[in-house]
């Protein structure tokens, strides 16, 4: 398996090939595109299976038209939306995208109040109230399910927001960490329901145990790896003994 990146400013494209690239047929390729959206530039990650012509979205933060336009122009059918949590900057485009595509939303039930309350999802505080009262399929810590023919594992990592989860694609070596773990940083813990201790424990127990080369695709900013964060993230430097397993 190998991963490449085009490094462009607004959209990072990773292509994950199975086998050597020379042997690779289009049918083996998964393309992951990063779209920073909305005033907070939350990452909307589009995971596209080139063979199936199906896609999964991680966090429907904003700019529904742009995301739907990309799906339409590239010919992908959206089959699922993985919500890492439900702060407003990650859910504002949910109603429009769900009604346009019928995609199934996957969310931890502790995040549900934030779908319905602009106070809970912090948008009222920012003076731009939004809600996203969409139906969803509940996911919890340890759940495993399949989309695009690929296994997805769920890790509950609260502390930034209630119901924060990470979605791990073990065969692809990719983990979507939402606002729990960033490149060189971690999520804020001063919002309602936040806890620094809880966040660090979740990162330590559920993320830093993943293989070093696991790609960290977070809710803001660019990509990193588990190995890089374990060795250089200033919030995690008392944790060298945690190690990989």
Q: Are strands 185-186 and 181-182 parallel, antiparallel or unpaired?
A: antiparallel
| Residue with smaller CB distance to Zn ion, 93 or 148 | 93
29: closest CA among 151, 172, 174, 175?
172
- 202-231 mask for Zn ion (x: CB under 5 A)? -----------------x------------
**Which span (20-28, 151-159, 172-180, 193-201) binds Zn ion, by CB under 5 A?**
172-180
Work out whether 179 is an interface residue with Zn ion (CB under 5 A). yes
With respect to Zn ion, which residue has the nearer C-beta, 172 or 179? 179
Quote the least distance from Cβ 17 to Zn ion, whole Å.
Answer: 30
Q: Which is nearer to Zn ion, 12 or 83 (CB)?
A: 83
One character per residue 100-139, x = contact with Zn ion (rule: CB under 5 A): ----------------------------------------
Reported in sequence order, the residue ranges of 126-189 that DSSP labels E, i.e. its strands, are 137-138, 144-147, 150-156, 165-169, 174-178, 181-182, 185-186
If the CB atoms of residues 15 and 220 are measured against Zn ion, the closer one turns out to be 220
Q: How far is the CB of 171 from Zn ion (least distance, A)?
A: 27
Identify residues 76-95 at the interface with Zn ion (CB under 5 A): 87, 89
How far apart, in whole angstroms, are the C-alpha atoms of residue 128 and residue 91?
Answer: 13
| Cα angle 157-123-41, degrees, rounded to a multiple of 5 | 70
Taking the CA atoms of residue 229, residue 235, residue 240 and residue 244 in that order, the dihedral angle to the nearest 10 degrees is: -40
Please give the residues from 10 up to 69 whose contact with Zn ion meets the rule CB under 5 A. Answer: 42
Instruction: Report the nearest approach of Zn ion to the CB of residue 175 (Å).
Output: 16
24/29 Cα distance (integer angstroms): 8
Is the C-alpha dihedral spanning 181, 97, 88, 147 positive or negative? Answer: negative
Element (H, E) at 227: helix 226-232
Q: Please identify, using beta-carbon distances, which residue of 122 and 139 lies nearer to Zn ion.
A: 122
How many amino acids of this chain bind Zn ion (CB under 5 A)? 5
Quick one: which H or E segment has residue 54? strand 54-58
Under the rule (CB under 5 A), what is the footprint of Zn ion? 42, 87, 89, 179, 219
């Amino acid at each position: 398996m190998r991963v490449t990146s085009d490094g462009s400013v607004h959209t990072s494209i990773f292509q994950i090939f199975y086998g050597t690239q020379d042997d690779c047929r289009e049918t083996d390729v998964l393309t992951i595109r990063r779209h920073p959206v909305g005033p907070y530039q939350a990452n909307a990650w589009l995971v596209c299976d080139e063979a199936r012509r199906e896609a999964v979205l991680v966090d429907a933060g904003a700019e529904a038209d742009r995301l739907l336009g990309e799906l339409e122009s590239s010919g992908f059918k959206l089959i699922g939306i993985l919500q890492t949590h439900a702060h407003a900057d990650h859910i504002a485009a949910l109603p429009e995208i769900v009604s346009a595509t019928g995609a199934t939303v996957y969310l931890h039930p502790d995040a549900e109040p934030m779908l319905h309350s602009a106070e809970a999802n912090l948008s009222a505080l920012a003076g731009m109230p939004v809600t996203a009262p969409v139906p969803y399929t509940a996911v919890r810590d340890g759940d495993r399910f399949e989309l695009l023919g690929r296994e997805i594992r769920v890790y509950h990592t609260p502390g930034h927001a209630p119901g924060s989860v990470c979605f791990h694609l073990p065969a692809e070596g990719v983990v979507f960490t939402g606002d729990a773990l960033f490149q060189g940083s971690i999520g804020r813990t001063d919002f309602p329901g936040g806890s620094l201790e809880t966040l660090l424990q979740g990162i330590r127990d559920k993320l830093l145990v993943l293989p070093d080369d696991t790609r960290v695709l977070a809710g803001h900013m660019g990509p990193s790896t588990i190995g890089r964060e374990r060795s250089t993230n200033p919030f995690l430097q008392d944790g060298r003994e945690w190690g990989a397993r």
